[in-house]
Structure 1
């Protein structure tokens, strides 16, 4: 009997790399993908199959999924991990940058879902794991574009979960809190695209790496390592009856609190944060 097959996007580093390793250790046939295949050499040496995949390229998406079907005849799990962070006041983020954020973080997941579902329906089972964030259910000022892309994934996944349940397919959301990966570096690099207005001094203070050491990015209170997220993903895929959502890290308590605190109170708290020196 052939081992189960998983397709994982965004495997060059961080959560994607560790998830590929974790599935490989559990005996899965792993297809690890990333826009730059050269970044996947270590996973190839481990025994993973690798492929070039930019999730914004529909042709590449179809090519990779067709390859998996041709080579294995099955696709048991899709892990939609590819994505990146972007920071900046909403006014200062160019609309084209917001479009790019959604094209990768949201539409990219949708492209993979559409390509994978026909195989999963044919075989009568499958599990789709969409990587969201705690910011898929809350927010932080200065991260509006990223937060919006993750809120969209939450709604899409909830609808999809009900739609495909008759076909033996489960849909799971993974909601990590801050994770020490390249997320922070990429988010800070994206600030070069901002169209500064001079109206948001607080943003440039809070996200000054020298001042606060990325405490409002990937090194916030309770930040975790990518291996921990990978373990949760693999456990969720092996669970007989998986939860709809898995919050990874101590931020689940902030989410619970956030659902109880009135919006006006929460907003006043953020106003206090904006006044940090």
Structure 2
């Protein structure tokens, strides 16, 4: 059965990779959203339907959902993927940057989900796939705000899964660890990380060196991309998929170790890889 699939955050990383896989390997109708229209054009050339969108504008989110339904019919599945990483100390990250992180990663995701629920409930079916992270289970110095958004997404996704199960709607969370995509270098270079001065400069410089090396050694997008595609169109799905070895290890460490031991492991891990 041909499905209407909506992917937000489709202009890079997992979103673009999943969209291309679906466009080249299936006959489903793929709707893509993002802020950079020139990158959406790449997907249009592959057969996608583009709907430029800033997920922090709730009215626009609902307008795009209505436009898709008017153009192609009810949305069968959505990949809630728009998001980015913000790195910096809790004390120093500017207030507006902190707010923006939550507006995109949490409130934008929630508004996207809310926009599709009514028609999915009416149809008694639907698939909501949410890009989360291993950071939903752990946190570390310099990544507190990003991790907080993913903790929030985990809580929201878990509650949503229980709320909509009886309506025939599947909720799936994808939890990759570090993966070699532009996400990491963009976050480290553009989204607040002060390594030049201040009380935390030395720590942030150490963290940046560690993260750059970790992204270089990390697996490519294929496993996470393929899991996203299966989650969107597969007949049976699991509630949560952890797509990298690191995502398994970190979640178990945070549960098994006492807080002081966990902090030590994270500090030592950063020192050894930097």
Shared fold (TM-score greater than 0.5)?
A: yes
Do structure 1's residue 229 and structure 2's residue 227 form an aligned pair? no
Cross-structure match for 1:206: 207
Deviation at 1:16, TM superposition (A): 0.7
How far apart are residue 9 of structure 1 and its match? 0.6
* Matched residue count: 270
Q: Which runs of 5+ in 2 are unaligned?
A: none
Change (3 A) 1:14 1:5: same
Q: 1:274/1:91 Cα in 2 relative to 1: closer, same or farther (>3 Å)? A: farther
Q: 1:261 to 1:12 in 2, by over 3 A?
A: same
| Large movers: runs of 4+ above 4 Å | 192-196, 273-277
2:11 pairs with 1:12: yes
Distance 1:34 1:54 in 2: 7
Q: Distance in 1 between matches of 2:62 and 2:126?
A: 18
Which residue number in structure 1 is paired with residue 72 of structure 2? Answer: 72
| C-alpha distance in 2 between matches for 1:194 and 1:65 | 41
Note the alpha carbon deviations across 1:155-209, whole angstroms, 9 max, x for none. Answer: 000000011111100111000111111112221211267995324412212314x
Counterpart mapping for 1:104-253 below 5 A:
104-188=104-188, 189-191=190-192, 197-208=198-209, 212=210, 214-216=212-214, 218-219=215-216, 223-251=218-246, 252-253=248-249
Q: Secondary structure at the match of 1:139?
A: coil
Match of 1:265 among 247, 250, 261: 261
By how many angstroms is 1:64 displaced?
1.1
Does the 8 Å CA contact 2:195/2:202 hold for their aligned counterparts? no
Paired with 2:197 and 2:78, the residues of 1 have a C-alpha distance of 39
Q: Tell me if structure 1 keeps the 8 A contact 2:85–2:184.
A: yes
Change (3 A) 1:33 1:199: closer
* Distance in 1 separating the partners of 2:225 and 2:268: 35
Matches of 1:234 and 1:144, distance apart in 2:
30
> Does the residue aligned with 2:51 lie in a helix, a strand or coil?
strand
> Offset of 1:273 from its aligned partner?
4.6
On the 8 A contact 2:84/2:105 being kept in 1, the answer is yes
State the distance in 2 between where 1:228 and 1:105 align.
22
Q: Secondary structure at the match of 1:92?
A: coil
**In the TM superposition, what whole-angstrom CA distance separates every residue of 1:130-175 from its partner, at most 9, and x where no partner exists?**
1000111112321111100010000000000011111100111000
Indicate the RMSD between aligned Cα atoms, in angstroms: 2.1
How much does 1:257 deviate?
A: 3.6
The alignment's TM-score, normalised by the length of structure 2, stands at 0.91
In structure 1, C-alpha distance between the alignment counterparts of 2:234 and 2:16, rounded to whole Å:
21
Give how far 1:242 is off.
1.7
- TM-score relative to the length of structure 1: 0.90
**Structure 1 residues 30, 197: CA separation in 2 closer, same or farther (over 3 Å shift)?**
same
